[in-house]
Amino acid sequence: MSFFTSFFKKNQVDIDKNNLPRHIAIIMDGNGRWAKKRGLPRNAGHREGSNALKNIVVFSDKIGIKYLTVYAFSTENWKRPKSEVDALMGLLLEYLKNAERELHGKNIRIRVIGDVNGLPEDIKKEIARVDKLTAKNTGLSLNIALNYGSRNEIVNAVKSLCVDVKNGRLSVKDIDEDSIAGRLYTFDMPDPDLIIRTSGEKRISNFLLWQSAYTEFWFTDVLWPDFKDNHLIEAIKEYQSRHRRFGGA
């Protein structure tokens, strides 16, 4: 019995392992409401959210997902009170620091997508370290979207195209979808097959706008800190029941 067959059997994971989404992206929303419901400060929700993420990363890898992109901090999240932004940055730094012990050994690759230059120095340093450390890992690719905004990403791609045109490296008639996709943070990844958003909100909030042209969406009322393996399985099962047409008949 192969590792996967036995793992799926033992854990009663009844998903079709031959039709897994290659790339899952998650908008991890609802930390604040999770805390409020318990009379706790919002930052307690963020801490619990970070724990939920640790679990889902390891589980996704176990069931054979190749790419997992998680929305951790948007370009718009700077609008929050400084104390909350500081707490989020602290948790992200801690997450990256622990990644070596908890994820590198599991052959997981960790990258950050987003405007890294706009992040505090200590986080920038840690991102570079973890990126280098895990660059050759061949298990799950975890992309943490940090200071990420899809419109900003597209603006940067357009700027880079303009520079190439101006310098004569590219002619306008050769600009196509690949020349844009190749200038996004996700240039070497497949588009997400499935986007999950927790907490009952049904919007995209500036996440992977270009990349989600044909993505399947799955929404749940579960708040992110409560999101567990069984919820991911439920999302994958629903994904597997859908018929993706990509504009075809």
Is 73 among the residues that bind ligand IPE (CB under 6 A)?
yes
Q: CA distances (Å), 200 to each of 25, 64, 69, in order?
A: 16, 27, 19
- In the list 20, 24, 25, 27, the residue contacting ligand IPE (rule: CB under 6 A) is 27
Are 17 and 8 in contact, with CB atoms under 8 Å apart? yes
Q: How many residues bind ligand IPE (CB under 6 A)?
A: 18
Respond yes or no: is residue 16 known to be catalytic.
Answer: no
If the CB atoms of residues 29 and 153 are measured against ligand IPE, the closer one turns out to be 29
**53 residue type, one letter:** L
The phi, psi pair for 246, rounded to 5°, reads 50, 35
Q: CA 171 to CA 215: how far, in whole Å?
A: 31
Is 156 among the residues that bind ligand IPE (CB under 6 A)?
no
Q: Which of residues 186-215 bind ligand IPE (CB under 6 A)?
A: 199, 201, 203, 205
Cβ-closest residue to ligand IPE?
Answer: 32
Cβ-closest residue to Mg ion?
Answer: 29
Is 33 among the residues that bind ligand IPE (CB under 6 A)?
yes
CB atoms within 10 A of CB 135: 10
Alpha helices by DSSP H, 63-149: 82-102, 121-134
Q: How many residues bind Mg ion (CB under 5 A)?
A: 1
Q: Which of residues 219-248 bind ligand IPE (CB under 6 A)?
A: 224
- Strand ranges of the sheet holding 141-148, from the earlier edge strand across to the other edge: 109-113, 141-148, 67-74, 23-27, 194-197, 216-219
- In the list 88, 144, 194, 208, the residue contacting ligand IPE (rule: CB under 6 A) is 88
Least distance between ligand IPE and beta carbon 217 (Å): 14
Q: CA 188 to CA 183: how far, in whole Å?
A: 10
Element (H, E) at 57: helix 42-62
**56 residue type, one letter:** I
Which residues are annotated as catalytic? 29, 77
Give residues in contact with ligand IPE (CB under 6 A): 27-33, 71-74, 77, 88, 199, 201, 203, 205, 224
Give residues in contact with Mg ion (CB under 5 A): 29
